[in-house]
């Protein structure tokens, strides 16, 4: 999808449905393009709304035919596997447009809050690029979370290697369309479009309501603590709530209703989302956190 103004300006890329069960980003792209029809004053917006159609048709995270994760296949290879060939086409088309920013739209765990996920800043050597990424992330109005690991074959990491700012937007739960999350995603992207001067600044900037302890801060992504037992999860903290070190966040019951484990937090942070499953196993994460 391409929306181009008659006036030159920045180039913005939007990518959706990297994983086939994450359809929310596709709908966000649809809504952005509807709004842009009468609002785009300069520059160009490109989008790949459905990067993994085979995964979408089967609600699968992977490329179904090859069981590959597309977001572990960049920058791709035009003579490689199915995922590598798709990744090569996507990556090549993005790079040749010299974008000001690439926004990769994803969905996260059950009932998760929306947030911006940045690649680890320690791996970005260029100070100017690192600052531009932080500025764009704060401009979105969402919580800013720094990833805990570098995924070297993800779209965002490989785009960053070309000295182009890239961010991942995690926009609520997968497998369904939550209209509030669609609205949050559209508003976050519209903030960035206004900041780039690509649309009129005709409204106040959107800010996702967040606890003052996490607002405008850079949080650290964490899946700790992990479950030590098997059983049914009873969550004691909701996404968006603050959990302090040592607080009870989940109770694990066995098949007979006996509590086998109480899970407490390893650090202060905000709950980003719950596990998608009602059952857990030893070594499995039960919640995602943005630690501060």
Average pLDDT score, the chain:
96
Does 161 share its domain with 248?
A: no
Q: What is the CATH number of the domain that holds 265?
A: 2.40.50.100
Burial class (CB in 10 A: 0-12, 13-18, 19+), 21: buried
Does 222 share its domain with 172?
A: no
The boundaries of the domain holding residue 249 are 218-291
Q: Tell me the three state secondary structure of residue 217.
A: coil
Does 170 share its domain with 242?
A: no
Does 13 share its domain with 133?
A: yes
pLDDT of 212 above 90: no
Does 36 share its domain with 131?
A: yes
pLDDT of residue 135: 97
Which residue carries 């997968």 as its tokens? 174
pLDDT (tens digit, 9 = 90+) per residue, 70-94?
Answer: 999 999 999 999 999 999 999 999 9
Whole-number Å distance between alpha carbons of 65 and 89: 18
Tell me if 207 is assigned to some domain. no
Tell me if 211 is assigned to some domain. no
Does 153 share its domain with 276?
A: no
Tell me if 33 is assigned to some domain. yes
Confidence of residue 211 (pLDDT cuts 50, 70, 90): confident
Does 250 share its domain with 154?
A: no
Q: Closest Cα to residue 26, out of 35, 18, 17?
A: 17
Does 246 share its domain with 102?
A: no
Domain count, the chain: 2
Does 143 share its domain with 248?
A: no
Does 255 share its domain with 127?
A: no
Does 43 share its domain with 184?
A: yes
Burial class (CB in 10 A: 0-12, 13-18, 19+), 5: middle
Tell me if 254 is assigned to some domain. yes
pLDDT (tens digit, 9 = 90+) per residue, 5-60?
Answer: 999 999 999 999 999 999 999 999 999 999 999 899 999 999 999 999 999 999 99
Tell me if 205 is assigned to some domain. no
Query: What sections of the chain are H helices per DSSP?
Result: 24-36, 53-57, 82-95, 127-139, 155-160, 179-195
Does 269 share its domain with 177?
A: no
Tell me if 30 is assigned to some domain. yes
Q: Closest Cα to residue 282, out of 263, 265, 267, 266?
A: 263
Q: What is the CATH number of the domain that holds 122?
A: 3.40.630.10
pLDDT of residue 82: 97
Tell me if 212 is assigned to some domain. no
Task: Give the torsion through C-alpha atoms of 108, 124, 225, 61, to 10 deg.
Answer: 30
Tell me if 123 is assigned to some domain. yes
pLDDT of residue 110: 85
């Amino acid at each position: 999808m391409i929306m181009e103004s008659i006036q030159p300006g920045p180039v913005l890329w939007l990518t959706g449905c990297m994983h086939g069960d994450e359809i929310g980003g596709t709908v966000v792209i649809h809504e952005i393009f509807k709004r842009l029809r009468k609002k785009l004053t300069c520059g160009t917006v490109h989008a790949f709304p459905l990067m993994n159609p085979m995964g979408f048709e089967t609600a699968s995270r992977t490329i179904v035919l090859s069981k590959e994760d597309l977001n572990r296949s960049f920058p791709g290879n035009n003579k490689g596997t199915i995922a590598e060939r798709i990744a090569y086409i996507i990556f090549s088309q993005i790079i040749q447009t010299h974008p000001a920013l690439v926004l990769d739209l994803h969905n996260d765990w059950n009932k998760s809050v929306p947030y911006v996920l940045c690649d680890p800043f320690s791996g970005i050597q260029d100070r100017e690029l690192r600052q531009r990424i932080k500025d764009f992330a704060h401009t979105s109005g969402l919580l800013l979370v720094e990833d805990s690991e570098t995924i070297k074959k993800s779209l965002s990491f490989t785009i960053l290697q070309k000295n182009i700012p890239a961010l991942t937007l995690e926009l609520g739960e997968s497998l369904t369309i939550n209209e509030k999350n669609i609205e949050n995603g559209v508003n976050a992207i519209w903030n960035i479009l206004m900041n780039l001067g690509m649309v009129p600044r005709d409204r106040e900037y959107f800010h996702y309501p967040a606890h003052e302890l996490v607002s405008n801060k850079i949080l650290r992504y964490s899946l700790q603590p992990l479950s030590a037992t098997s059983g049914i999860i009873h969550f004691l903290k909701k996404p968006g709530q603050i959990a302090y070190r040592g607080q009870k966040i989940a109770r694990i019951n066995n098949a007979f209703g006996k509590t086998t484990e109480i899970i407490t937090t390893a650090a202060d942070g905000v709950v980003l989302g719950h596990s998608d499953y009602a059952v857990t196993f030893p070594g499995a994460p039960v919640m995602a956190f943005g630690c501060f």
